[in-house]
């Protein structure tokens, strides 16, 4: 079954823009990205959109569909009311390049601030052994496709540009949690306190557990309950553990 839909697509660049209305054909089984491609093919070839896999795996086609952060290639038209306009806007948290394309380099800068896995001393790479429970925990976090929808939705930076320098966002706090929970990570021996750094350097305290990040994640990673809350607990345990406190005082002398 085909029908004509009204799309309102944000057109513009860093200097400003507006919602442009289009009437466009929609066919059974199509996703929002199919309709965007039809717009490019039939009405507006200069419409800028980033995409790659069209299978929900590259994380490129992130945008906001009716104000909700979504992957356009995974949003079926059948889930949207056919008699209401579909509004497409770029991710609001990041600077616009053009039309639906945003500059997500904030995220790559945050990724670079996190020290990578520190291999355990004296254990050859082939000799690493981990309990299946620990493997499963990291595997959930490693499903991340870096679509940055969680970063886009988090209120700490969504409307607060001033928080960006001190806040890594859920995707990268989750990365710190993954490394902090990793049984073979030897960062502590290299003088890196991951949970403390999450608190002091990456703004973990700004997260007030609204769960919006978990709600929008297309990989259904339970970011809040499985990464952020445990990381907060670990940071608090370290801060308020009397032995850890005493040790840090002695080390500072």
Using N-to-C axis directions, what is the helix angle for 170-181 and 132-141, rounded to 10°? 170
Q: What sign has the CA pseudo-torsion 130, 131, 135, 137?
A: negative
**Which of residues 77, 212, 223, 235 is near ligand SF4 by CB under 6 A?**
223
The answer to the question of residue 207 lying near ligand F3S (CB under 6 A) is yes
State which of residues 73, 91, 96, 181 lies at the interface with ligand FES (CB under 6 A): 73
H helix intervals, 21-92: 32-42
Phi, psi of 250 (to 5 degrees): -65, -40
Under the binding rule (CB under 6 A), the answer on residue 150 touching ligand SF4 is: yes
Provide the 8-state DSSP code for 114: S
Residue 130 CA to residue 118 CA, distance in Å, equals 15
Residue 154 near ligand F3S by CB under 6 A: yes
**Residue 45 in tokens:** 């070839």
The site map against ligand SF4 for 101-130 (x = CB under 6 A) is ------------------------------
CB of 173 to ligand F3S, least distance (A): 7
Residue 230 near residue 194 (C-beta atoms within 8 A): no
On whether the CB atoms of residues 157 and 215 are closer than 8 A, the answer is no
Give the nearest distance from C-beta 223 to ligand SF4 in angstroms.
6
Residue 58 site contact among ligand FES, ligand SF4, ligand F3S, none (CB < 5 to 8 Å, cut-off depends on kind):
ligand FES
**Residue 61 makes contact with ligand FES by CB under 6 A:** yes
**177 lines the binding site for ligand F3S (CB under 6 A):** no
Neighbour-count burial of 31, counting CB atoms closer than 10 A to its CB (0-12 exposed, 13-18 middle, 19+ buried): buried
Q: Which residues bind ligand F3S (CB under 6 A)?
A: 153-154, 156, 170, 207-213, 224, 228
Q: Which residues bind ligand SF4 (CB under 6 A)?
A: 144-150, 171, 216-219, 221, 223
């Amino acid at each position: 079954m085909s029908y004509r839909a009204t799309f309102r697509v944000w057109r513009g660049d860093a200097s400003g823009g507006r919602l442009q209305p289009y009437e466009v054909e929609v066919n059974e089984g199509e996703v929002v990205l199919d309709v965007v491609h039809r717009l490019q093919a039939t009405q507006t070839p200069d419409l800028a959109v980033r995409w790659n896999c069209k299978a929900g795996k590259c994380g490129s086609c992130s945008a906001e569909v009716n104000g909700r952060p979504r992957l356009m290639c995974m949003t079926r038209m059948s889930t949207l009311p056919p008699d209401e306009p579909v509004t497409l806007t770029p991710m609001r948290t990041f600077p616009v390049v053009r039309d639906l394309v945003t500059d997500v380099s904030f995220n790559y800068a945050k990724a670079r601030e996190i020290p990578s896995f520190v291999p355990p001393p004296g254990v050859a790479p082939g000799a690493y052994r981990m309990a299946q429970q620990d493997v499963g925990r990291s595997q959930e976090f490693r499903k991340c496709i870096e679509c940055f929808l969680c970063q886009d939705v988090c209120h700490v930076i969504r409307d607060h540009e001033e928080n960006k320098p001190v806040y890594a966002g859920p995707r990268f706090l989750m990365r710190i949690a993954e490394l902090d929970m990793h049984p073979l990570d030897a960062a502590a021996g290299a003088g890196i306190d991951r949970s403390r750094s999450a608190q002091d350097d990456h703004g973990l305290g700004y997260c007030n557990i609204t769960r919006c990040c978990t709600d929008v994640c297309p990989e259904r990673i339970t970011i809040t309950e499985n990464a952020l809350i445990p990381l907060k607990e670990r940071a608090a345990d370290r801060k308020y553990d009397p032995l850890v406190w005493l040790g840090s005082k002695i080390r500072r002398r």
